[in-house]
Structure 1
Amino acid sequence: MSTILKYVVEQLNKEPYRRNYNLISFDALEPLQLLQVLNDVLSEVNPQHKLDIREETPDATAMRMLSELRVLKYKPTVEPATFRQGLVAGNKPVVYSILEWLFQKMPELKKRAYLARFLVKIEVPGEILAEDAVMDTYSQYEAQVDAFMELHRTSESLKTSGFSTTEIKKDISQMEDEKDQLAKRIERLKKKVETVPNYEHMMSIARNFRKEQEREASLAQQRQEQKNQLHHAEQRLQRMKQQLKDLKQSTVGVSADDLVKKLDEENKVNAYMCEEKLPKDLETLRKACQDLERVVNEPAMGQGDLEEIQTQIKAVNSEVNALIEKRMMSNDPKDDKLSLFRQQASIIARKKEGRADGLHEAKEELVQAKQELVEKRESAKNLEGEEVLKGDDFKRYVNKLRGKSTDYKRKRQELAELRAELGVLSRTEEILKQRDEQIQHRLSKLEAKKGVAGYHDTQEELEKVSTIKSELDDVKGRTLEDMSHLVQKLNTSIASKKANLAPIIKELRPLRQQAQEMQVVYDDKKTAYDTKAAGLESNRSKLEQEVRAYREECSQEESRYHYLHCMLQMVEMQNQRVASEMKAYTSADQMEKKKAFRDQYTRKLQEQENLGKVSFFPHFRLENI
């Protein structure tokens, strides 16, 4: 909210408002004054809103502003009901957001308000619109609105086109003259060529020849495009190969332990960032936001409030200083030892935070560098397949560019001189034309005075007609000669092509018949092959299913065999232990008999019973003693 308030105050202090507000004075405005400021800004967008809001009711002011904001397509950030209530009451967050939006889009909103005066249609009730006269008038009104839209669109396109009307008119008149001359010349040529024998046939041949030339040009262009695409694909392949080579080189000499250590380090860094660094930053930002919101939500403070706050700050500072002195007086050696470790821990924590910040900045720089690399590669791709120069080649290229820059500056200077000379010559031409008009006017007066009016104009027209006739005769002669040579070339080429194709056609006829016979045989063989293949495929699928079932059965039997084998070994071990126990128990040797589990367990039970008797009845032993 503070940034919005600062931006609004800066804009209001500029032209054409010049309010000389500061943050405190603007924040201290009453709701009515704040609505007046909003109304003044709206009047800058649409002059129809230029008035004092004290002269109208609050409801009328709110309705007028809401209708204007709806026309300007303002989208509130809160609910519509809350927005309307805040606008009527002059709520600061609502008004501040509207002012920020208006200042950010002022040129666009001025244009939209201007167009809304003519494009927002008048709402006419249906019962009134049912009348014929009203309906006709409303249709004319809609037609006028559509015409205004078209004219405005045309005007905007012309404003951004960069052409002047005088140049366009001159070009149009010149093109019309050229069109008339071409039409007349085409008519004369048609009349002259129509007398030539085989006129239609020759014209069709010439037309076909022109089409073939255009087709040849298009094929050449397609071929060039395909070459360019192939060149780009080869370059991309080279880049991919280089990337693959770099990746292979980066992994040379690196063992699995090194990769695991690197991953462990990255994991520790990420864990520190996620568990310690980022939560602290988030908590700091939350506290800052809470402090700012608390400051913004508090009412505007005066000089007395500021003095009271300064007094409180001084009192708290004195208390802090007293507590520090008291702590220094009652300093404990144990606390001193702990303070050393605390200082070391705080230094290490600060170092870790500094390294984490450096890591974050390095990652951002790496991402930015990667983006720049991608942009540079994309720009290098758009250089029409040119290679990126390095070393001496780049120096030579720079020197070449410098030479071209010098030539460009010299030619630009020459062009400026030529343009200046063109201006002088055009002015001289205008002066000469004016003098020529004056002389022509005097000459016409003299001719009228002598009784031969129009003699000079008639003579000039006759000279122009004779010159044009001679030029047309030359053009017609050249055109007929070119057409005759073209027809002769075409006939010769057609005859030569027919002669060359005649033996090939003779050889091709029996081959076509043979090909038809082979096609019939091929179709028969293909049908038989497809039938056989379908049958074999069905048999193969059945056999695969059977094999799959047998394999599953075998795997189940194998697992059951291994399980039973293990159980059998366990039973054999148990039998061996039982046999050894029976052997030791039935043996006559006392040492061997003591190794039996039964005797061992019996002996241990007896020892435990004796121990229990001793621990629970010690006085019996004393009396017996």
Structure 2
Amino acid sequence: MLKESIFIVNQLNKEPFLKNLTFPSFEALSPLMLLEVLNEVLTEIQPKYTEIIQDKTDEERVQEMINLLSMLEYEPIKECCDLQAIREGLDTNDKVVIYPILFWLLQDVSTLKRKAYLSQFTCEIEVPEFLHHDETLYIYSNKQKEQIQKFQQTFVMYEDLQPLSVSKNNAVVENRTMQNNKCSLLKQKEMLHKELESLVKSPDILLKASRQLRLERERAKLVARQTTEQEEQLSQAQKRVSELEEQTKGHLVAGDNAADLIVELKNEIEANTVKVMEKLPTELEKMRKEVDALQKLAEMPVVTAAQLLEMKNQIQDVTSKIHKRTVKIIIDQSCEEDRLKSIREKASAIHQTNNLKAQELQDLKDRLAFVERKAKVSATQTRFHDGEWGLWDELKCKKINLRKKYEEVDGLKAERAHLQGTKRVLKQTAQYFHPLLQILEAEKDKTGPSDVQRKLERMAFVKKKDQSQTDMCELRRLKAMMASLTSYMSTLREERKAVRQQALEDRFELKRAYGTTALNEKLKLLKDENAELERQCNDKQALLETTKMKLKAAMFELKAYNCLEARHHTTKSVKAKGTEPRSRTNKTK
């Protein structure tokens, strides 16, 4: 309230009120004086307010005040939001009601004046409900609305033109000056007309002279234009001369001959001829084609709205077809992804088995390297307990292989448990739905999905048999290859042992017979034989690995082909079974 009262005092001390009030004096005002201040502010906003209030009772004055405030779109304060409370406050001249009203009115007096002025002409007359059916009143109310709209439009135009308006005094002064200028110009015109009449007695001579003068002026313009063109040509020629002089100076400095310059000129002429004869015609043809295309476009008839609608409909049809095709492609891709997932899983399983086999081969290679190292040690040293170290290493390798086998067995057990659980769930669902399907098939006398499932199971069983037979053949081949490899390795070990024993015996014999030189020669021969045997063994291992990889790749391709063939066959059978009942229903129809 304090801020509101200070603002009210400041606004009342300004124009157009000029009250010369202070804050204490304003607070000390009596209720009647406050009411007079409010009436003065309202009369400033609405000049006819004093005429309306005269010769009226207090209740009528309060009602008129409330009507004016509602017309000015006054929103009551939160403390006194009730209209009855506002009416009582205005009747008793309460400060709690009058201060907010004054504060709101004095915030923007100019806009409120405009609202009050417009409200005189834009307020619609309210017609009672029992007179709504009267046609004359309805017509007059519509006319009133039209007049209000016209008034609003004219007022907007007036406001737009108001800043551009000129004052009356300035307009009068400008009009007088223009009239004076008009009189002076008329006098000058009369004087010039009299001078012409006095000078020119024969107008034909004057016209001829004027024509000749005009022709001479045109000739002078042509001469000036020709001189400017010649000056430009002269300046261009001077520039060309200066360029040629610079070129000659450059050639003299470089020490060029006339023959070289002639060759350069010939080359330039050839390049220019190539441009003119080859490049320019192609460019001209391109330009002609573009011009022809543009002419065709210009000659084409204008597309009508109906044609545009047809084209839009065609575009929409094409877009819908594209959308359907994309959806179909996405579905096919998802099916292919499922197939690829299964193939990838099988490939990962085969890859794991390959890794295990590779690890086994690596272990065999390590054992072979260890045996070779042992042979070298036995050749250099005189120890005879090499068999114990070999047994120890073999035991270590067997222990590592056993651990790997145990890990593989644990993984297979976990997979088996998971597969058994899924199998159990699938059996339960099949047992639950199988009798229901049989009942439905018996009711409709149709071969349903149960028969299809049986046929599919038979086909899958046959496929599995064929596949298992092929897999068994491949496994037998692999087992035979592995058996041959193991037999070869065992024979190699036996040969190495025999060679080692023979080497030891020969060593002692040669020591006794020939000495160290002959023994060294014999040792070299044995080493060469051992190297050849190792090379042959490595070649055979490489051949075995390549054949094994080829066999596994062939098995993988065969399995993938069998899976795809089985799925294709199942989809065909399902489609055939789905089309049979439709054809029967069509026949019955």
Fold equivalence (TM over 0.5): no
TM (normalized to structure 2)? 0.32
Q: Larger Rg: 1 or 2?
A: 2
TM (normalized to structure 1)? 0.30
